[in-house]
Structures are given as C-alpha cells and as structure tokens.
Amino acid sequence: MTGKTDKIALTPKTHATPPARFSHGVRKGNILQVAGQVGFLPAVEGQPPTPAGPTLAEQTLQTLANVKAILEEGGASWDDVMMIRVYLTDVDHFAEFNAIYDRYFAGLEGAAAARTTVYVGLPKGLLIEIDALAVLG
C-alpha cells in the first residue's frame, strides 16, 4: 500500500487565475498535466486576456511558451513531455502549424513526444489550444 500523494496546482506568474474551477497545471508525484493553453500574452492584473496576435504563428509560439511556463513551474521541461494534444480551429492551418512546431522543437534531443491534432471551435479570435502530459524522472 502506498501513501497518498497530494495534487499540486500550478499557476505561473505569467498566467491569470483560470475563469472556472480548474488549474492551469497539476502535478501529482511524477505526473504533470498541463491544461489546454491558448496564445494569451502574459497576464496583466486588471486587464482582460489578450491574444499574442491574429496569426497562427504568433498564437502558436505564445501557446507553446504558456505550456512551457507551466511545465517549468512544476519542475519539468519539454524533455519530460510524453504527449501533446493540439486543437486547431481550421484544417487549412495543419501544414503551417507542423512547420512552426518542427522549427520550435528542432533542437530538442531524444524522442519526440507523441502528438494528437484535432479540429475544434474556440472562442472568437483564438486559433489554437495545446495541452501536455509530462512524466518526471
């Protein structure tokens, strides 16, 4: 029988409080789950969230930065990520997204994370959402 391991909610300083009862990330033992992140710029107290820009490239790079911030808050890095789920609003963005994704992860050593891409509806102006699952050593 093992002892209970507490869940730790993760909210980097760059992130606003979630709009509902959920955590941006949760770590329990060596498992870290990053909730779906979008391309909002770092939070400014008293200001509504602002997308990084209108383009897929701007939003993708900011979304990846937001995921990375949560990973780091929980003591993880991209090397610990086992699974990435990508949610795009437009099937025509798939090739462009893959090019951005490949450039972003070009320097990462070791096996690439598994990835799933699906097409969804997101709030107006948002083009992409990404979540991740990491397992720490």
Average pLDDT, stretch 94-115? Answer: 94
User: In terms of Cα–Cα distance, which of 9, 95, 131, 43 is closest to 52?
Assistant: 43
Q: What is the pLDDT of residue 2?
A: 56
Residue 136 has pLDDT above 60, yes or no: yes
pLDDT in tens, 27-86: 999 999 999 999 999 988 888 889 999 999 999 999 999 999 999 999 999 999 999 999
Q: What is the pLDDT of residue 134?
A: 98
10-14, 94-98, 107-111: range with lowest mean pLDDT = 107-111
Say how many residues make up the chain. 137
pLDDT in tens, 110-135: 889 999 999 999 999 999 999 999 99
Residue 20 has pLDDT above 80, yes or no: yes
The runs of H, that is alpha helices, within the chain are 56-73, 94-104
Start-to-end C-alpha separation, the chain: 22
Under 8 Å CB-to-CB from 32, ≥6 apart: which residues? 10, 25, 26, 71, 74, 75, 76, 80, 133, 134, 135, 136
Q: What is the pLDDT of residue 5?
A: 72
- Domains, in order of start, for the chain: 7-135 (3.30.1330.40)
